[in-house]
Amino acid sequence: MNDILTAPFLVEMVRTATNMYNHGWDERNGGNISLLLSEAEVSEYCNITKILRTIPTGFSAPELDNRYFLVTGTGKYFKNIQYAPDVNLGIVKLVDGGKNAQLLWGFTDGGTFTSEFPTHIMSHAARLKVNPKNRVIMHCHPTNLLAMTYVHTLDEKEFTKTLWRMCTECIVVFPDGVNVLPWMLCGTNEIGEATAEKMKTARLVVWSQHGLYGAGADLDEAYGLIETAEKAAEIYMKIAHLPIINTITDEQLHLLEGRFGIKAREGYLKIN
């Protein structure tokens, strides 16, 4: 069996978490990531018949029964993942209709998966129905997107169009836009259900005064999606108090649709 520390999915998870911390998106133990893995991927590096512990999940997800996930741990600091991945990360298999998770590797200090795991699993289930290739759910606290929820209307259409107008590439990267939730108590099934509902129509879901959830086919895509939206929010926060002389118009956004073969969210652009 191959050394799990050389597994491409683990190497990429460590690299991504480190980059997120260095960006200032995941202070202390803020943020979490989960990556859906195939049995073939896991079995190449891990004995899938050796169950280290069984951990109750506190929710049910029958559609993800017998699926494998690499997930960050509760109370763990992203800055430490690169130094001790076996402590800060774990590989689990959902069983019993998702009510329990079998730990196959990691959390060697006796820890468990992030408290936001129910939200992740609900979002995974929602995104897989939209796009079976979406395997990553990523939560973090990007500074400017977080700041934006204090000074910008939380109307999803307006929030999305503000971000689209900040940088030409934005509509190309997230033509499905950004969905927004009002402040809700984190770590609960209620916010998980609300986030999953929003994930049905967009890969980015803003938690007002808290952070952001992003989904993607792989770690690079989810990371790049968040990075692009955060860059747009940074530009907005730099100019929001200034008189706006120039902007990207709806007609210009429509031109980008044609140029890059993408379709903006229905009803968001007004074209003469």
Domain with CATH 3.40.225.10 in the chain: 1-113, 116-272
Give the C-alpha separation, 173 to 170, whole Å. 5
- Tens-digit pLDDT profile for the chain (272 aa)? 799 999 999 999 999 999 999 999 999 999 999 999 999 999 999 999 999 999 999 888 999 999 999 999 999 999 999 999 999 999 999 999 999 999 999 999 999 999 999 999 999 999 999 999 999 999 999 999 999 999 999 999 999 999 999 999 999 999 999 999 999 999 889 999 999 999 999 999 999 999 999 999 999 999 999 999 999 999 999 999 999 999 999 999 999 999 999 999 999 999 76
Give the C-alpha separation, 48 to 166, whole Å. 47
3-class secondary structure, 31: coil
Encode pLDDT of 8-40 as tens digits: 999 999 999 999 999 999 999 999 999 999 999
Whether residue 68 contacts residue 93, with contact meaning beta carbons closer than 8 Å, is answered with yes
Give the residue numbers marked as catalytic: 116
Distances (CA, A) of 218 to 34, 164, 222, 251, 267: 10, 23, 6, 32, 29
In CATH terms, is domain 1-113 a member of 3.40.225.10? yes
**Which of 3.30.300.130, 3.90.480.20, 3.40.225.10, 3.40.50.300 is the CATH number of 116-272?**
3.40.225.10
Specify which residues 91 forms β-bridges with: 70, 105
DSSP per-residue codes, 191-218: HHHHHHHHHTT-SEEEETTTEEEEEESS
Encode pLDDT of 177-197 as tens digits: 999 999 999 988 999 999 999
